[in-house]
Amino acid sequence: MPHVEPLSGWGRYPVRDCTVWQPGTAEALHAVLPPLASSIARGNGRSYGDASLNGDATIDMRRLDRLIAFDDDSGELVCEAGVLLSDLVGCFVPRGWFAPVTPGTRLVTIGGMIASDVHGKNHHGAGSFCDHLLWLDLDLGDGRVLRCSRTENADLFAATCGGMGLTGVIVRAAFRLLRIETAWMRQRTVRARDLDAALALFEQSLDWTYSVAWIDCLARGRALGRSAILLAEHATVDELGSVHRATPLVRAQRKPKAVPLDFPGFALSGFNVRLFNQAYHAMQRPGDALVPLDPYFYPLDALSDWNRIYGRRGFVQYQCVLPLASSASGLRAMLERISAAGAGSFLAVLKRMGPPSFGLLSFPIEGYTLALDFPATPDNLALLDRLDAITADHGGRVYLTKDARMAPARVAQGYPRLDEFRDLRARLGLDRR
């Protein structure tokens, strides 16, 4: 039976009272959906905004978490949508396999990764997660369960990949894992003195499989956009030292440290953020190193409940992507606006994106994406409206998975295939649900 509970995304803003259903099997899910006039699927609640909140019916998918089949030759995995990426990593890294694309946390479900068409530090070469998806089974909620792929119900497949759960509930999926030799990364750290230098380094490093930059969003003047860029490749056995060569696929893990309380508002003052950014920049020493897989891909997972740092009122993450031709001017305008407001983010991340995905509402376009966290205050929400305008003026878009406050008109501006998405929903009767 359902129950009512307050829910939020990872940003803890906004909070909504939702009627929650938690089916334990695909058959139970199939029985729950038809009577519901309105519903949304929810994975592990790690999307930052309000994407998985529905007051009428929120479908908690975490009990549909079975691994169904795996081919150890091809790496093809079939699993239910509620499988956590953390369980997949824990199960398959020791066998020499890793996710072909991973977001910055492993505490997400496979269904959520598909609905968000997540991208990672290798998007410039590997594309987004749905580029590696073979097929999915979709429960439309009206009695139909359809197999969707590039050759079967292809239009629904394109609408579901990145479709934010608005085409139905993903039940199970198949995709191929990436073969690896070790649980270690060969990392190179490079400092960039300003934004122009950071973008030049990204362009010179496109032959690296993985790349990401931390960017000081409060730096001003000549230091505007100063960054530390982390490049990486999966290390081979031959690159390991003798200590780890005997157990190359054993992950070096530490128990996550807990944030025991909600931080007070003054902890996130512009002064404190500026000090943190200066110290963090100084810590990123240039050079090469072997680092464990988890700290490179999932640094924040080492701190459980880190969202409490932003206090009880919560926070919003702003992530946009700008086309390659306008990235430099757009990013400069954003950083100048943020720095002038004194509203810098502890966690500002810059990545190079490759060609767009096939999903109708998929986020990536070729260019640069910037992600920042801000406490959910009236001043910051007003600032994000101004960042929306800069994004739109430069031909970019805001990531729907991270959003909790964007105006509807901005969605239409940033996603030119939105009408195609709406037409498909209408044709299949999904707009009535």
Pick the more confident residue, 278 or 248.
248
Q: What are phi and psi of 44, to 5 degrees?
A: -100, 10
Measured CA to CA, the distance from residue 386 to residue 398 in angstroms comes to: 13
Say yes or no to pLDDT of 279 above 90.
no
Say yes or no to pLDDT of 37 above 80.
yes
Say yes or no to pLDDT of 278 above 90.
no
Over residues 149-161, the pLDDT tens digits come to 999 999 999 999 9
Paired sense of beta strands 349-353 and 367-375, if any: antiparallel
CA 228 to chain centroid, in Å, comes to: 20
In degrees, rounded to 5, the angle at the alpha carbon of residue 177 between the alpha carbons of residues 368 and 256 is 75
Say yes or no to pLDDT of 57 above 90.
yes
HEC-encoded secondary structure of the chain: CCEEEEEECCCCCCEEEEEEECCCCHHHHHHHCCCCCCCEEECCCCCCCCCCCCCCCEEECCCCCCEEEECCCCCEEEEECCCEHHHHHHHHHHHCEECCCCCCCCCCEHHHHHHCCCCCCCHHHHCCHHHHEEEEEEECCCCCEEEECCCCCHHHHHHHCCCCCCCCEEEEEEEECEECCCCEEEEEEEEECCHHHHHHHHHHCCCCCEEEEEECCCCCHHHCCCEEEEEEEECCHHHCCHHHHCCCCCCCCCCCEECCCCCCHHHHCHHHHHHHHHHHHHHCCCEEEEEEHHHHHCHHHHEECHHHHHCCCCEEEEEEEEEHHHHHHHHHHHHHHHHHHCCCCCCCEEEEECCCCCCCCCCCCCEEEEEEEEECCHHHHHHHHHHHHHHHHCCCEECCCCCCCCCHHHHHHHCCCHHHHHHHHHHCCHHHC
pLDDT at 40: 98
Over residues 65-104, the pLDDT tens digits come to 999 999 999 999 999 999 999 999 999 999 999 999 999 9
Say yes or no to pLDDT of 393 above 90.
yes
Over residues 125-150, the pLDDT tens digits come to 999 999 999 999 999 999 999 999 99
What's the chain's Rg over C-alpha atoms?
A: 21
Beta-bridge mates of residue 211 = 231
Say yes or no to pLDDT of 340 above 90.
no
Please check whether residue 262 is in contact with residue 308, taking contact to mean a CB–CB distance below 8 angstroms.
yes
Query: Whole-structure pTM over 0.85, yes or no?
Result: yes
Measured CA to CA, the distance from residue 72 to residue 374 in angstroms comes to: 43
pLDDT at 33: 97
Measured CA to CA, the distance from residue 160 to residue 174 in angstroms comes to: 14
Over residues 172-228, the pLDDT tens digits come to 999 999 999 999 999 999 999 999 999 999 999 999 999 999 998 888 889 899 999
pLDDT at 1: 86
Please check whether residue 52 is in contact with residue 165, taking contact to mean a CB–CB distance below 8 angstroms.
yes
pLDDT at 286: 87
pLDDT at 256: 87
pLDDT at 148: 98
Residue 87 corresponds to which tokens in the numbers above? Answer: 């369980």
Q: Which residues contact 357 (CB under 8 A, 6 or more apart)?
A: 117, 127, 128, 130, 131, 161, 162, 363, 364
HSE-CB at 335 with a 13 A cutoff on CA atoms is: 27
Pick the more confident residue, 241 or 423.
423
Q: Sheet containing 3-8: which strands, arranged edge to edge? A: 3-8, 15-21, 58-60, 40-42
Question: Band of the pLDDT at 266, cuts 50, 70, 90?
Answer: low
Residue 135 corresponds to which tokens in the numbers above? Answer: 């097929």
- The sign of the CA dihedral 33, 39, 40, 42 is negative
